[in-house]
Amino acid sequence: MGKGNFKIFNVVGARPNMMKMAPIMAEMRSHSELNPVLVHTGQHYDFAMSQVFLEQLKLGEPDYNLQVGSGTHHAQTAEVMRRFGELVQADRPDLIVVAGDVNSTMACALVGAKELIPVAHVESGLRSFDRTMPEEINRVVTDSVSDILFTTESSAAENLLHEGIDPNKIHFVGNAMIDSLIFALDTARKSTLRERLGVQQGGYIVLTLHRPANVDDPVRLPAALEAIAKISEDLPVIFPIHPRTAARATELGIAGMHAWDGTQTVAANGVWTMPPASYIDFLGLVDSAAMVVTDSGGIQEETTYLGVPCLTFRDNTERPVTVTEGTNRLIGTDPENLLREARLTLSQSLQRAKCYTPPNLWDGHASERIVAIIRNYLTTAGLSASVATAAR
C-alpha cells in the first residue's frame, strides 16, 4: 500500500488537546499507509496558549487552521462546526481523531457523525456527573457519536457501558498525555524557570484556576484567592494565570497578588502571578513543587504520575483514578477547607513516594496502542468506508 492511503484528521483546539495529540501524530507518521493531517480549530490562539505548545510538542504548523477564536460556548461550537464542516466537505478524511472534552472536540465529532466519517475519541468515558460543566456535555455528546473510544482508566468503560455504548467500540489504551509527559520530562527538569523565579526545589506551591464555575463566580474567586494568600504566608505560590482568570481578576479588582515580570526573583512569600507557562516550563515547575492546587483535569493526572501532592479545588472529578491510586485529593470549593487541606498537606510534607506505581497503562506507550487499533480499524472494519471515500 502506498504512503498515506488513509487520511486522518487529528483535531486540536485548546491547549490540553495538544499533549494528547502530539504522541499520536508522531506514531502515525511512522506508518507509511497513514497520512496524518493536523487541524487546529483556533479555539486557543495566543502564542502562550497555542503556538509554544505546537513547537515544544513537535506538532509543527497545522495543515489547517480554522481560526475560530473565542466566543460564547454555543457561538464557538457552531463556528467550529461550520468551518470544520466546510473543510471535510472539501478534503474528506477517512477518520477524524478528537481528544479530551473541549468545545472543539465535540464540534468536530458532531461534524464527523453527520458527514458519516468515522470518529475516534481519545480520553473517552470520563464523567464528573456534573452537567453544569461545559466539558461534561462535551464528553457525553462526543462519546455518543464516536466509533472508536479510547479510555485512560477503568471508570471510563464502566461509564460508557452504563450509557449503552457498544463494548466493541471501547479500548482501554492508557494515557496519551502521559506519553508526552514521559517524553518531555528530562527536558522539563532542565527548564530554567525555577531558577529565574528564584524558588527552591520543594519550596513553593503551584496554583492554576480557570474553570468557569470557579473564576466566573464573583464571590468564589476572591474568597479562594484570599485563602491562597494565607497559604502563601508559608510558601510562595506561583500562579501561571489563564487569560480568562486574569480578565476576571482585573474586573473584580482583586489586589494583593504580585506580578512576576520575568526579570525579578520571587523574593518573598506571597502569590506571584505569571503569564501562562509553556509545556516544558510548567512540567518542570510542577515536578519540583511542594504541592499543586488546581481545578484542571489534566494536572490531576500529571501530578499523579509525578507523585506530587495535588489538591483539586472542585466538588467532583471525572478522573477518579487520580484519587484512588494517585496523589490527588478532591477538596471541594469551600475556601476554609482549602486552607485546612493545604496546611495539612504541607505539614505532612507528603514526600514523593519512592516506589510509586502509576495507574495501569500510564506507561508511555498509549499512542502506540491507539495507532495499532486505528490501523486495524482502517484496514479491516473501516475498509468499506475508505473505499466509499475513494469512489466519491
Which residues are near ligand UD1 by CB under 6 A? 14-16, 43-46, 49-50, 70, 101-103, 134-135, 210, 242-244, 247
* Active-site option among 44, 121, 171, 210: 210
**What kind and span of H or E run contains 306?**
helix 298-306
Which three three-digit cell numbers place residue 231?
A: 497559604
d(CA 127, CA 2): 40
> Which of 152, 178, 175, 184 lies closest to 277 in space, CA to CA?
184
d(CA 126, CA 224): 26
Among residues 74 and 190, whose Cβ is nearest to ligand UD1? 74
Smallest separation (angstroms) from ligand UD1 to the CB of 14 = 4
Smallest separation (angstroms) from ligand UD1 to the CB of 57 = 15
Q: Determine whether 210 is an active site residue.
A: yes
Among residues 103 and 303, whose Cβ is nearest to ligand UD1? 103
CB under 8 Å to 186, separation ≥6 — which residues?
none
Smallest separation (angstroms) from ligand UD1 to the CB of 347 = 31
Among residues 47 and 356, whose Cβ is nearest to ligand UD1? 47
Smallest separation (angstroms) from ligand UD1 to the CB of 12 = 11
Report the DSSP pairing between strands 237-240 and 170-172: unpaired
> Which of 289, 285, 283 lies closest to 310 in space, CA to CA?
289
Among residues 176 and 266, whose Cβ is nearest to ligand UD1? 176
Smallest separation (angstroms) from ligand UD1 to the CB of 252 = 15
Among residues 213 and 350, whose Cβ is nearest to ligand UD1? 213
d(CA 323, CA 172): 19
Q: How far are the Cα atoms of 22, 266, 381 from residue 372, in angstroms, in the given order?
A: 16, 47, 13
Smallest separation (angstroms) from ligand UD1 to the CB of 314 = 12
Other C-beta atoms lying within 10 Å of the C-beta of residue 178: 27
Among residues 49 and 229, whose Cβ is nearest to ligand UD1? 49
Smallest separation (angstroms) from ligand UD1 to the CB of 308 = 19
Q: Contact 125/160 with Cβ under 8 angstroms?
A: yes
**What kind and span of H or E run contains 329?**
strand 328-330
> Which of 302, 352, 300, 305 lies closest to 328 in space, CA to CA?
300
Look at the block and give the residue holding cell 501524530: 25
Q: Contact 307/296 with Cβ under 8 angstroms?
A: no
Among residues 35 and 294, whose Cβ is nearest to ligand UD1? 294
d(CA 79, CA 66): 9
Residues with a known catalytic role: 210
